[in-house]
Amino acid sequence: MMDVGIYCINGARYSTGLEPQYVTAQEFKTDPVKFREVDETIFWQMEFPEGIVSNSVTSYATSLERLYIAAEEGWLELQPSFSYGPLQGRTSKGVLDLPKTNHQAVQMEEMTKGILENKPIDATGEEGLRDMKIIEAIYRAIQSGKREKI
């Protein structure tokens, strides 16, 4: 969850422009010794306002790297969706022409400019706090086996 799970959370938050209100979650470990102190596989569902639902999974047991969004008038897919690049995408209307860029390098450059030039950056502490509240709710849902409010 703390490694690439955040990309799933951000993908859902940024795609909807909304904040999730509830989560349900399950954790699975195929090797309890190897994954004694770290998550192996977590499945979770986030419920957003307006009836929007996001289903997500993060796992060290399998290679998953896909963002898929289905809407009333079409769909969008990024696969791969969060690696250092290049990203590839398509929609119900055709292939996306995405620039070939190293997104991690762009993020680091923007953060550096923000610090050196005293400009606001997108990756704020407030954004990180929102993410951590969602992650905490996911872990509570794993423990309780119930739907948890964020």
CATH no., domain 5-149: 3.30.360.10
pLDDT at 10: 92
**DSSP letters spanning 111-147:** HHHHHHHT---SS-HHHHHHHHHHHHHHHHHHHH-S-
**Residue from 73, 118, 47 nearest 56 by CA:** 47
Provide the Cα torsion 130, 84, 95, 12; round to 10°.
-10
pLDDT tens digits along 55-80: 999 998 887 788 899 988 999 998 88
Q: How confident is the model at residue 43 (pLDDT cuts 50, 70, 90)?
A: very high
